[in-house]
Structure 1
Amino acid sequence: MPRGFSVSNKRLQVMGNSRFTSGVELATGIGLRVPHYNHILSEKPAVGWFEIISENYMVEGGRALSVLDRILDQYKVVQHGVGMYPGDAGGVKFEHLRRLKRLVRRTKTPWISDHLCWGSVDGSMSHDLLPIPFTFEAAKKTAENLRIAQDFLEIPLAMENVSSYGEFKDNQMTEWQFLAEVCELADTGILLDVNNIYVSSINNGFDPMEYVNFVPAERVAQIHIAGHSRYQRFVVDTHDHPVVDPVWKLYERAIERCGPVATLLEWDGRIPSFEEVWTEAKKSETWRDTALAKREENAAA
């Protein structure tokens, strides 16, 4: 283990994180997407909860907020962001946080998730989720930014592992060690994206099940499942296909370790009908039930 690593690299006993118990832990959710607005508002499907991309609703008015308010009248909504960029060396962007906090007051989201990444230099935005070098210096700076953001927002944060297509030569730890290190130092939760784990494992050559086995289970607040696209050299996190079996197996193992945390299906490209997306999301319940049965057996052994 690298010197200075503060989180034990052994299977952690699941203790649960009371900050993330919100009534959605046993429910299945999907992302709220524009093509499904009319169906949701007219048919009122029995969805456990919806996840919104925060930045799409950080506006002063218009249809997006009007629809969101109608959704909030009937469903629980959890905010998921793409613009916090806690890995930026320049620190947190308070104007972004102020707008985010206004939306928090509107949605009453139980927590906010965003990505463990960076995305801007000297005020220039990449509008991408760029991976952070897995070094102790980067972990310390990222955690400092997250502590400031969490204190300002006055709501728990959960950081998502991003998909990646290469690795830094100067990495001092594995990705799962870095994720654990940052979230321990910042005292935040984890949004565990098992599709991103699979995508990165194929592109960068590591065992995805090892990742799931060693992530600090007591910090996992939410799990993402999604589909991807396979090309000649890379697997790309496109969110435009059904979930593949290897990703379902990672999900099953994650639930076995973490318990009945909130699960959400992402489908963002070539979006099919609401019924097709919801049917795919509901598959998670079979995998979840199998995993929870294994968890109970292990606890009784």
Structure 2
Amino acid sequence: MHGPIGYADRAVPFWNTALTTSLTASYRYPPLGFGLGLRVDHYQDLLEGERKVDWLEILSENYMIPGGRPLHFLERFRERYPLVMHGVSLSIGSGDPLNRDYLKRLKQLADMVQPAWISDHLCWTGVDGKNLHDLMPLPYTEEAISQVVERVREVQDFLGRRILLENVSSYVSFASAQMHEWEFLNAIAERADCLILLDINNIYVSSHNHGFDPLEYLAGITADRVQQFHLAGHDNQGALIIDTHDAPVIDGVWDLYRHAVRRFGPVSTMIERDDKIPPLTELLAELQHAREIAEPILKAAA
């Protein structure tokens, strides 16, 4: 496996080199700081304004095309920001064969972008060749672990790099489950030798929906497997919380983020917003709040 290239001359995150080295000696890729998900609404502001974002996450499927304006803009962003790729269609947990055409297009995009890393979700998104356009949960069983591990290894061999798998929010559980979600995620990361994109909001959402302790979730994840954090908003309907990415991060998620920084150190953190997208200034304010939470914790740990 190999790591990212091309960022030697890019800006570094706010934490100093000594601190980063002391807390991330076993991380697979260097942390990037604080970023945002790239959305069309913010193209001009991010290209023309003062740079207040350390890095950007692109949705892989939006750019897996032969040409056109999206790739034109992507090249401009690549010149200004470190980029990571985040997908929604790998369907790593499906019983279908891996989609070879999808993997080829994903690798072509990665060869062009040279992302710091590539991620997708620990879920399945289709069956019999049909994409459900949703992130469906898996049963937490040894059988499922074995299947996913084999598929992750195959994907990593094809891409020539480790990938990150993200925990999804869930609303149902399986009677066949043999373990907790965090044990399932951790086992796959360890056995497949991949990394983890830990979505803090999704942990909060699922802990409410299923009644588990989110701090136990954090404690059950191997620290040096966590490469990235997601922070996002949701819709609290009382008995059920729906992961919507259409609202600001709430205090409960910020509190859980504090615990995550203490547990995992300087992990690249970003704000996700996919609907009801506000002006960039509002997301930058949220991102600054993340910095203000993380910085004193990391300095105290140095």
Per the normalisation by structure 1, the TM-score is 0.90
Residue in structure 2 matching 1:158, options 164, 185, 209: 164
**2:272 counterpart residue number:** 266
**Runs of 4 or more off by more than 3 Å in structure 1?**
14-18, 293-296
| Structure 2 Cα separation of the partners of residues 200 and 293 of structure 1 | 31
Q: State the identity as a percent.
A: 45
Structure 1 residue 17 displacement after superposition: 3.4
| CA shift in 2, pair 1:272/1:290, >3 Å | same
Matched, 1:107 2:129: no
Is the 1:16–1:219 Cα contact (8 Å) retained in structure 2?
no
Per the alignment, in what secondary structure is the counterpart of residue 185 of structure 1? helix
Structure 1 residue 16 displacement after superposition: 4.4
Point out where structure 2 has 5 or more consecutive residues left out of the alignment.
Answer: 1-22
**2:20 counterpart residue number:** none
**2:101 counterpart residue number:** 95
What is the correspondence of 1:1-301 to structure 2 with a 5 Å cutoff?
Answer: 16-21=25-30, 24=32, 27-296=33-302
Is the 2:27–2:227 Cα contact (8 Å) retained in structure 1?
no
Q: Which letter does structure 1 place at the counterpart of 2:62?
A: N
The C-alpha deviation readout for 1:57-88, integer Å capped at 9, x for no partner, is 10111111111111111111100110111101
| Structure 2 Cα separation of the partners of residues 16 and 86 of structure 1 | 29
Q: Which letter does structure 1 place at the counterpart of 2:221?
A: V
Structure 1 residue 232 displacement after superposition: 3.7
Q: Which moved more, 1:110-119 or 1:287-296?
A: 287-296
Per the alignment, in what secondary structure is the counterpart of residue 80 of structure 2? coil
Q: Which letter does structure 2 place at the counterpart of 1:17?
A: S
Per the alignment, in what secondary structure is the counterpart of residue 198 of structure 2? strand
**1:5 counterpart residue number:** none
Is the 2:196–2:227 Cα contact (8 Å) retained in structure 1?
yes
Is the 2:24–2:224 Cα contact (8 Å) retained in structure 1?
yes
| Structure 1 Cα separation of the partners of residues 199 and 76 of structure 2 | 28
Structure 1 residue 19 displacement after superposition: 2.1
Structure 1 residue 252 displacement after superposition: 1.1
Structure 1 residue 155 displacement after superposition: 1.8
Q: Which moved more, 1:284-293 or 1:207-216?
A: 284-293
Structure 1 residue 91 displacement after superposition: 3.0
**2:15 counterpart residue number:** none
Point out where structure 1 has 5 or more consecutive residues left out of the alignment.
Answer: 1-13, 297-301
Structure 1 residue 184 displacement after superposition: 1.0
| Structure 2 Cα separation of the partners of residues 129 and 192 of structure 1 | 15
Q: Which letter does structure 2 place at the counterpart of 1:86?
A: I
Is the 2:34–2:269 Cα contact (8 Å) retained in structure 1?
yes
| CA shift in 2, pair 1:205/1:294, >3 Å | farther
Is the 2:96–2:127 Cα contact (8 Å) retained in structure 1?
yes
Q: Which letter does structure 1 place at the counterpart of 2:263?
A: R
Is the 1:115–1:159 Cα contact (8 Å) retained in structure 2?
yes
Q: Which letter does structure 2 place at the counterpart of 1:213?
A: A
The C-alpha deviation readout for 1:100-141, integer Å capped at 9, x for no partner, is 000101111121011000111111111110001000000110
Two-structure CA RMSD over aligned residues (Å): 1.4
Provide the aligned length of Structure 1 versus Structure 2. Answer: 280
Is the 2:186–2:220 Cα contact (8 Å) retained in structure 1?
no
| Structure 1 Cα separation of the partners of residues 250 and 97 of structure 2 | 37
Is the 1:198–1:208 Cα contact (8 Å) retained in structure 2?
yes
Per the alignment, in what secondary structure is the counterpart of residue 179 of structure 1? helix
| Structure 1 Cα separation of the partners of residues 116 and 26 of structure 2 | 13
Q: Which moved more, 1:48-57 or 1:82-91?
A: 82-91
| Structure 2 Cα separation of the partners of residues 161 and 267 of structure 1 | 17
Q: Which letter does structure 2 place at the counterpart of 1:277?
A: L
Q: Which moved more, 1:241-250 or 1:40-49?
A: 40-49
| Structure 1 Cα separation of the partners of residues 91 and 150 of structure 2 | 12
